[in-house]
Chains A and B, each alone.
Chain A
Amino acid sequence: MADVILEMRNITKTFPGVKALDNVNFSVTQGEIHCLVGENGAGKSTLMKVLSGVYPHGTYSGEIYFEGKECKFQDITDSEEIGLVIIHQELALIPYLSIAENIFLGNETAKNGVINWNEAISRTRDLLKKVGLDESPNTLITNLGVGKQQLVEIAKALAKKVRLLILDEPTASLNESDSDALLELLLQFKEHGISSILISHKLNEIEKVADSITILRDGSTIETLDSRKGHVTEDRIIRGMVGRDMTHRFPPRDSKIGEVVFEVRDWNVYHPIHEGRKVSNNVNIKVRKGEVVGLAGLMGAGRTELAMSIFGRSYGTRISGTAYKNGKEVDLSNIDKAIANGVAYATEDRKAYGLVLIQEIKDNITLANLKAISDYDVVINEPKEMSVTSGYREKLNIKCSSIRQMALNLSGGNQQKVVLSKWLFASPDILILDEPTRGIDVGAKYEIYTIINRLASEGKAIIMISSELPEILGVCDRIYVMRDGKIVGEMPASDATQESVMKCIMTQQQEVMAA
């Protein structure tokens, strides 16, 4: 038995109305990658917040031992001091500071209060090399993609002499190659004796890197699987998570595809700040009644930008092109009109664009369609609102103590479900879903796919942006591939394979590189 470096015993944590953790036991051995899995709201993030001192000693019951010593952290600096570093589900970098400034924030290489920038920058350079990020330490965070930001977070952790690294869904918003690079990094750290705890809903990644896997369900530890003793399959993990076998990852569907309901022609969009940059370049797409169309592509291909520019011009400038609904030109020039014309867009960034975090779940669900729950379009009919939103809570299985709970206190996956509910309630004819299953557990993904199928069978047209190819292949009828703001490929899903879509993305890339 290898040395146990961390042991959490009988951890119980309650919030008003919920027992988020119920007598959880959890231990990590020296130099392993320990994965923590479980459904949305199972308590994974909460357990890690207890561990890292976000919830200080005394606000939970149970004991924590790190390297044999009992820990009673008052705040996060206490845990960082002994080498426990957490990277949260939501990135916490400051956008208008440079990489170096962010890395040394709160940990400045200062002498008598004066920061020694030369030293900070040279150390940053070393750290960036270690995490394999080829950027100048002076680059502003806002100019980096999510993948690179994630690497900066890790570099920041390394700067703190980390012994145990905790990553809460680090790959949720990364594409495959960035995810692979990150996982590779964890394997490297393992060689150097740094243990890590990894939370993820991407089970294939877990299968790849885990040494052991702990499964949480409803705030309790279900089991710990040791993959060094024998291979643990995805299906095995799923069985632990949901308590039963899941034979299919995607619900079956028989599509009844009708006429073209929505079409965008010659769509051009320019970047709002970098004047000359075209983010959508002569895009032509169409969706039919009852059809689910996938938009595949790498991060930064311009899919979100395209979707938002269509949705009431909520992104970009100098937008040109025409949109047609049922063959007639429609005016989508602002969000009001887009919604009124039956177009909806569910954002990928739930915290910044999707939710009013300090409002109740019910307020969030009804926000885009308040008139439907109002008398004379003016007075909110609260009983009606309650019953509508309770319905969505049940249908999407939103885990909360009440629909009057603040959205802020929901687990990440459940927040995503609230965003979806909002747009389902707006009952659009054309629904654009941007990464609808980001951060969502396998069981809930299945539920969401089922909902997508049902909407399609009701005759709605759905455009789904996703960075997970299996999902695109499993759910869509037809796939567009996007790169650099252009549509570079179109294929029926029945003909497509993961390889063929990937190849479409990549060939184009090579062409560009060759040019």
Chain B
Amino acid sequence: MKTLSTLFKNNIREYGMLIALVAVMLFFQVQTGGILFKPVNITNLVLQNSYIITMALGMLLIIISGWIDLSVGSVVAVIGALAGVLIVRYNVDWFVTILICLAVGAAIGAFQGYWVAYIKIPAFIVTLAGMLIFRGLTFILLQGESVGPFPVDFQRISSGFIPDFLNVFNIPNFHLTTMVIGILLSIVLIFMDFRGRQNQDKYGFEVTPFYFFVLKNLMITAAVLGLCYLMASYKGLPNVLILLFVLISGYTFITSSSVIGRRIYAMGGNEKAAKLSGVNTSRLLFTTFVNMGLLAALAGIIVAARLNSSTPNAGDGMELDVIAACFIGGASASGGVGKVIGAVVGAFLVGVLNNGMSIMGVGIDWQKVVKGLVLLAAVFFDVYNKNKN
């Protein structure tokens, strides 16, 4: 059986990230005089980060493939603008608008993916061009001004909360459904982890010591229940969080257990070897860009709904937060390496930094400096660990 210290050493990256996140949260909790963990703020934190996380999922796949997408900030803007123009100027139904926006997002991804995957122009260049093109198109669509407001149904995507079905007991100021969902989720997570451990044991793999398993699940359960409790004492679970949960689970599944995920890792790790093993690398890379376009469009919708208007400067610089989240989360710039959970934690870290510093009144200038340093430190940590082994 492994000792705790070797276990920690082998997973230093993941645990290091989590510890960093917790440390940063505690730091801001103290510095902001307890505002950070207030139910309102936790809810806000989730809402503010939802679009970064959404896009980080797509970006992660692109980074694992060995490329990068610089255009996502502009895609967020152009999709927001499209939604604004359709709904506000042309009175198109909001749901139809969403479908159109997603389709356009996928088309944008296909457009960029075509140049990268089939014509073999480096993604850095293609998406740099895309960044300019789609920002320009945003200004053209909006004629340089903000368009809004949106109908309430549309806004609810970002600012709505799930209804409290279980509010039969009429507990004041407490969203019971949220708490129940939290409890169910904890049980499912524990069960899945237990099953995985059993499976590993069955196939003769070294499993983590039982006390470690218990400790880990206790902490996860505490975090889930704590989060749900905080949300329940505000307005409950935001709609966006449900969406995020679905996306994160889906992409975790794709990357860890699906054939297509395995192929993406192989392609990023050694494109030639993957190709010679029958992986259609061009089509696969094309698909990851389409996927990115789709997720960027989704993020664009969330942003527009949240701001309740389409503005020409929406999403400006967002690509950097998204890319930073992936790298902080342990993805490798040379491809083939990266985890969904890492990117999500990375995105939260960036989010908490943004949020905490804003509450403290740190200017946008210093916020950028700090985020840059954190990115550098995280990647340094990776490289240092790699060299040491």
Do chains A and B interact in one complex?
A: yes
A interface, CB within 8 angstroms of B: 16, 311-312, 314, 334-336, 338-339, 345, 347, 352-359, 363, 366-368, 370-371, 374, 377-380, 382-383, 386-387, 390, 402, 404, 422
Give the docked Cα–Cα distance between A339 and B259 (Å). Answer: 17
* Contact status of A378 and B259, CB under 8 A, knowing A363-B266, A383-B202: yes
Complex CA distance for A178 and B280, rounded to whole angstroms:
38
B190-216 Cβ-contact flags toward A at 8 Å (1 or 0): 000000000100110100000000000
Contacts A356-B266, A359-B336, A402-B205 hold; do A367 and B257 have CB atoms under 8 A apart? no
Q: Beyond A359-B265, A370-B259, A380-B257, list 4 extra A-B contacts (CB 8 Å).
A: A311-B276, A352-B273, A368-B277, A383-B202
B202 touches A336 (CB 8 A): no
Pick the contact of A386: B203, B272, B275, B279 (CB < 8 A).
Answer: B203
Does the CB pair B202–A363 fall under 8 Å?
A: no
Tell whether, in the assembled complex, residue B278 and residue A335 are in contact, meaning their CB atoms are under 8 Å apart.
Answer: yes
| Bound complex: CA A311 to CA B277 (Å) | 11
With a CB–CB cut-off of 8 A, which chain B residues contact A422? 277
Contacts of A359 in B (CB 8 A): 265-266, 269, 336
Task: Assess whether B385 is interfacial by the CB under 8 Å rule.
Answer: no
Point out the residues of chain A lying under 8 angstroms from B259, CB to CB: 370-371, 374, 377-380
Give chain A residues whose Cβ lies under 8 Å from the Cβ of B368: none
Instruction: Give the distance in Å from the alpha carbon of A338 to the alpha carbon of B257 in the complex.
Output: 26
Chain A residues with Cβ below 8 Å from B142 are: none
A355 touches B199 (CB 8 A): no
Nearest-neighbor residue (CB-CB) of B336 within chain A: A358
Residue of A nearest to B280 (CB): A336
In the assembled complex, which residues on chain B have CB atoms less than 8 Å from the CB atom of A363? 262, 265-266
Tell me which of A335, A371, A380 contacts B275 (CB under 8 A).
Answer: A335
CB proximity of A385 to chain B, nearest CB, Å: 10
Given contacts A358-B337, A370-B259, A374-B259, contact A314 B202 (CB under 8 A): no
Instruction: Report chain B residues within 8 Å CB of A386.
Output: 203, 205
Chain A residue contacts of B277, Cβ below 8 A: 335, 367-368, 422
CB neighbours of B279 from chain A (8 A): 367
Shortest Cβ-Cβ A-B pairs, 10 listed: A356-B269, A368-B277, A339-B278, A356-B270, A367-B277, A370-B259, A386-B203, A358-B269, A356-B266, A335-B278
> Of A16, A356, A366, A382, which contacts B273 at CB under 8 A?
A356
Query: Which residue of B199, B277, B280 has the most chain A CB atoms within 10 A of its CB atom?
Result: B277
Contact between A370 and B262 (Cβ–Cβ < 8 Å)?
A: yes
Chain A minimum-CB-distance residue to B256: A380
A317 to chain B, nearest CB (A): 15
The complex places the Cα of A358 from the Cα of B10 at a distance, in Å, of 16
B357 at interface, CB cutoff 8 A: no
Q: For residue A359, which residue of chain B has the nearest CB?
A: B269
* A379→B258 contact, CB < 8 A: yes
Complex Cα distance, B270 from A363, in Å, reads 13
Please, which residues of chain B bring their CB within 8 A of the CB of A314?
A: 275-276
Q: Shortest beta-carbon distance, A361 to chain B, in Å?
A: 13
- List residues of B (231-273) whose CB comes within 8 Å of A's CBs: 257-260, 262-263, 265-266, 269-270, 272-273
- Complex: chain A residue closest to B260, CB-CB: A378
B262 touches A387 (CB 8 A): no
- Closest B residue by C-beta to A346: B276
For the complex, what is the distance from the CA of A356 to the CA of B266, rounded to whole Å? Answer: 6
What is the minimal beta-carbon distance from B387 to any residue of chain A, in angstroms? 11
B274 sits at the interface (CB 8 A) = yes
Contact digits for B267-297, partner A, Cβ 8 Å, 1 yes 0 no: 0011011111111100000000000000000
Q: Which residue of B lies closest to A367 (CB)?
A: B277
Q: Which residues of A contact B270 (CB under 8 A)?
A: 352, 355-358
**Which of chain B's residues 375-389 have a Cβ closer than 8 Å to chain A?**
389
Residue in B203, B262, B273 whose CB lies within 8 Å of A354: B273
Closest to B271 in A: A356
Sample 21 A-B pairs with CB under 8 A, ordered by A number: A16-B10, A335-B277, A336-B280, A353-B273, A353-B276, A354-B273, A356-B273, A358-B270, A358-B336, A358-B337, A359-B265, A359-B266, A363-B265, A366-B262, A367-B279, A370-B263, A377-B259, A380-B259, A382-B199, A382-B257, A386-B203
**Of all chain A residues, which has the CB nearest B332?**
A358
| CA–CA, A345 and B265, complex, Å | 22
Please name all residues of chain B whose beta carbon is closer than 8 Å to the beta carbon of A404 when the two chains form the complex.
205
Give, as a whole number of angstroms, the nearest-CB distance from B149 to chain A: 43
CA–CA, A404 and B274, complex, Å: 18
Q: How far is the CB of A363 from chain B (nearest CB, A)?
A: 7
Contact A353 B274 (CB under 8 A): no
Pair A357/B269 contact, Cβ less than 8 Å? yes
Q: A334 to B279, alpha carbons, bound, how many Å? A: 10
Cβ contact within 8 Å between B275 and A367: no
Residues of B within 8 A of A16 (CB): 10, 389
- In angstroms, Cα B274 to Cα A383, docked, is 23
In the complex, chain B residues whose CB is within 8 Å of the CB of A334: 280
What is the minimal beta-carbon distance from A171 to any residue of chain B, in angstroms?
25
- For the complex, give the distance between the alpha carbons of A434 and B203 in Å: 34
CB proximity of A329 to chain B, nearest CB, Å: 21
Instruction: Enumerate chain A residues within 8 angstroms of B274, measured Cβ to Cβ.
Output: 356, 367
How near does chain B come to A335, taking the closest CB pair, in angstroms? 5
